[in-house]
Amino acid sequence: MTQPSKQPPGPRRAERARRTRETDITCSLVLDGTGEGDIATGIGFLDHMLTALARHARFDLAMKCTGDVHIDDHHTAEDCAIVLGEALAESLGDRSGVRRFGSAYAPLDEALSRAVVDLVSRPHAEVHLPLRRERVGELACENAVHFFVTLAVSGRFTLHIDGLRAGNDHHAIESAFKALAVALAEAVTPREGLSSTKGVL
């Protein structure tokens, strides 16, 4: 398998686009940013979550999506996760010089979520959120979970998210996004050398 090229010195960034019969997406990501989000996916609650992700990870994220939301929210949520995952993977280069692991708890009132990240190139996701409603705003709760899983697979990293406590589904999902953001911020922190005994991530 061809290994991604090592990123040159300077801001770690990537630009990705995806156009299908279902969605048309552009995305730019800067890992070493200030937390600025410019998000318009066509799904208000997803915009809110991605803005929170950018802010708490301290990423600069711009994403625009035109999708077939007249059908439902699935294609837009899934394809936005694919594009963001690809941008994350590209911005990490060969993944040398990062801390690799990150973990965080994030509360939101009664809700509490834990996220654990390993930037090793073995995509896997375990996402367990105690959601009860069918949807929050225009986003189906099942597609909130699907977003996390697709992001990990597309971004080629291992992700565990657990909703430890919740009463309100909006709070549960938002605390999960914020926990993921803080865990990613820790995992991408620059560090000398390669965080692997295998010699490759």
For the chain, the domains span 13-187
Q: Over pLDDT 90: what percentage of the chain?
A: 87
Which pLDDT score, from 0 to 100, does residue 96 have?
A: 87
Please, what CATH class does the domain formed by 13-187 belong to? alpha beta
Please say if the pLDDT value at position 196 is more than 80.
Answer: no
Which pLDDT score, from 0 to 100, does residue 68 have?
A: 97
Which pLDDT score, from 0 to 100, does residue 11 have?
A: 74
Two structure tokens written together for 2: 């061809």
Q: Is the pTM of this model over 0.75?
A: yes
Which pLDDT score, from 0 to 100, does residue 182 have?
A: 98
Q: Which long-range contacts (CB under 8 A, 24 or more apart) does 66-72 make?
A: 66/23, 66/24, 66/25, 66/42, 67/22, 67/23, 67/24, 67/25, 67/41, 67/42, 68/22, 68/23, 69/42, 69/43, 69/138, 72/140
pLDDT grade for 192, boundaries at 50, 70 and 90: confident
Nearest to 115 by CA among 182, 180, 188: 180
Q: Over pLDDT 70: what percentage of the chain?
A: 91
User: What is d(CA 40, CA 8) in angstroms, rounded to the nearest whole number?
Assistant: 30
Which pLDDT score, from 0 to 100, does residue 1 have?
A: 41
Average pLDDT, whole number, for the chain?
93
Which residues neighbour 102 within 8 Å (Cβ) at sequence distance 6 or greater? 115, 116, 117, 182, 183, 184, 185, 186, 187, 188, 189
